Amino acid sequence: MNLRRAVSGRLPADVPGPPRLAVADGCAAPEAREHATRRAVEVAPGGRLAARRAAEGHTAEVGASRRGAPVGRPGVIRVLIANDHPIVREGLSALINRQADMVIVAEAADGLEAVDLFVRHEPQIALLDLRMPGLDGAEAAAAIRSHDPFARVVVLTSHAGDEDIYRCLRAGAKGYLLKAASREDLLECLRAVHAGRTSIAPELAAKLAGRVGTSDLTAREREVLRLIAKGRGNREIGLDLQVTEGTVKVHVNNILTKLGVGCRTEAVTLAFRRGIVRLDD
In order of 1, 74, 87, 161, 268, the CA distances from 255 in angstroms are 41, 52, 40, 18, 10
pLDDT at 72: 53
Write down the architecture of domain 219-274 according to CATH. Answer: Orthogonal Bundle (1.10)
Q: What is the 3-state secondary structure (H, E, C) of 98-161?
A: CCCCEEEEEEECCHHHHHHHHHHHCCCEEEEECCCCCCCHHHHHHHHHHHCCCCEEEEEECCCC
CB-based contact 139:22 (threshold 8 Å): no
If one looks up domain 3-211 in CATH, what number appears?
3.40.50.2300
For 171-215, write each residue's pLDDT tens digit. Answer: 999 999 888 889 999 999 999 999 999 998 877 776 666 555 556
Q: Are 3-211 and 219-274 the same fold in CATH?
A: no
pLDDT at residue 95, as a whole number: 96
Average pLDDT score over residue span 102-129: 96
Query: Hey, where are the domains in the chain?
Result: 3-211, 219-274
pLDDT tens, residue by residue, 59-82: 334 443 333 344 456 689 999 999
Cα distance between residue 100 and residue 117, in whole Å: 23
Under 8 Å between Cβ of 45 and 239: no
Q: Do the beta carbons of residue 137 and residue 155 sit within 8 Å?
A: yes
How many Å apart are CA 131 and CA 275, to the nearest integer?
Answer: 12
Query: What pLDDT does residue 161 have?
Result: 72
E-strand spans in 53-111? 77-82, 102-108
The alpha carbon of 3 is separated from its chain's Cα centroid by a whole number of angstroms, namely: 18
- Give the model's pLDDT for residue 280: 64
